[in-house]
Amino acid sequence: MAKKHTQQKRIGIFRRVWLFLAVLGPGLITASADNDAPGIATYSRVGSYYGYTFLWIILLVTFGEIFVQEMAARLGAVTGKGAGDLIREKFGVKTTFYAMVLLLIANLGTTIAQFAGIASGAELMGVSKYIFVPVVTVLIIYFVLRGTYHHVEKFLLVLSLFSLSYIATVFMLKPDIGSIVRSAVIPSFEFNTDYILAVLATVGTTITPWGFFYMQSSVVDKGVDIESYPLTKLDVVFGAAWGNIVSAFIMISTGATLFLSGIRVESSEEAAMVLAPLAGEWASLLFTLGLMGASILAAIVLPLSTVYAISEAFGWERGLNQRRDDAPFFYWLYVGIIIFSALFVLIPGLPLFRIMWLSQTANAVFLPILLILALKLVNDPELMGDHRNKKGQNYFTIGLTIFITLVTIALFLIPFITGASMPV
């Protein structure tokens, strides 16, 4: 009897685990794509310059990302519409147009940064970017044009597993746990332009406007409704938590090696190269594999986020389950963004890291505008009924919006106060 009870208990556990794995999708993919090439570059640079002291910011934005992405998913599940649709319906064409222009600029810069990460990862592994980037570009276009939403989602989930390499790297390095915990729970801040720009870049690569648009659109494309939403909510919370754990581990790996050795890097590929003599070839290889997997994942997701939003905003057919003939703008814009970004990174002598860094800052500057629009939408009784935000959700999101706005204002005021020039 006891043996049968134990077997039933094990079966129950396996079923729950299988059910959990089955619902993983938009939340995990969005959070994993946040740890993209510019994100890894940002965390690598921050870790080498400031050690573990930015971990408290990662902890703060983890809660922020959970709240923001959950709002996006809930909006999609309740209304069955993407964010672009709702912004056009509730705020008019003019507001929608400006929002789409800002999104396109930020997303195009970030997509270029993904292909820069693919190029860097290839060259770190001894493969010419002039061969590898075109091959990856063709494969991405072919896969997305030929696949349905569920096929693309499964492939993106596999790519999400590459982030495990950063966790493995930290376990190899064995950093001081006490220092890590103190930095995560005790905030510190510096009032200078470089530091504030780093804060903005860190927030901008973690809670992103494109992530909000992609989350809501993918929930709609997947066919999630409010009855099945609780499982999607679990995916969102787990994805955001997991993505930021990986972000922290990237920062810890560079803080434990580069910062303590007095080495400052400006990019993720520099970090991977320097890790080899400091931590061994395996640490460097794992770091490079993480960069490559994340870059390919985000190179697929970022353009999708862009074309979802723009197609929704102007009322065009969209979605990976649509035939190409039924949604020509959706697919042709996607292909155009991919090809433009790939060709751009093959131009010799471009300051690719600066593009990565500034694309994250642009995301952070645009984010408060999007959060204000999102709060109005998710609290609209006509749209959401009983599924509006709770007071605590509103207070936290408003506080996050104010924090990002104040940091942005400080970034532009510091040069006037100190006489220093703003880094570009």
Q: What does the angle CA 76 – CA 80 – CA 86 come to, to the nearest 5 degrees? A: 70
32-81 tens-digit pLDDT: 777 777 778 888 888 889 999 999 999 888 888 898 899 999 999 999 99
Say if residues 137 and 338 touch (Cβ distance below 8 Å).
yes
Whole-number average pLDDT of the chain: 81
At residue 158 the predicted structure's pLDDT band, cuts being 50, 70 and 90, is confident
Is pLDDT of 277 > 60?
Answer: no
The SS3 of residue 267 is coil
Q: What is the pTM of this model?
A: 0.80
More confidently predicted of 340 and 198: 340
| Candidate from 17-21, 207-211, 221-225, 369-373 with smallest mean pLDDT | 17-21
The SS3 of residue 371 is helix
Please tell me which of 132-146, 153-167, 252-266, 401-415 the model is most confident about, judged by mean pLDDT: 132-146
Which tokens is 239 given? 């994805």
More confidently predicted of 132 and 411: 132
> At 258, which amino acid appears?
L
Is pLDDT of 269 > 70?
Answer: no
Is pLDDT of 422 > 90?
Answer: no
Q: What is the radius of gyration, based on Cα positions, of the chain? A: 21
First to last CA, the chain: 71
Query: Percent of the chain beyond pLDDT 90?
Result: 14
The size of the chain, in residues, is 424
Could you tell me which of 166, 205, 150 has the C-alpha nearest to residue 30?
205
More confidently predicted of 192 and 270: 192
Q: Which domains does the chain have, with CATH numbers?
A: 27-379+388-418 (1.20.1740.10)
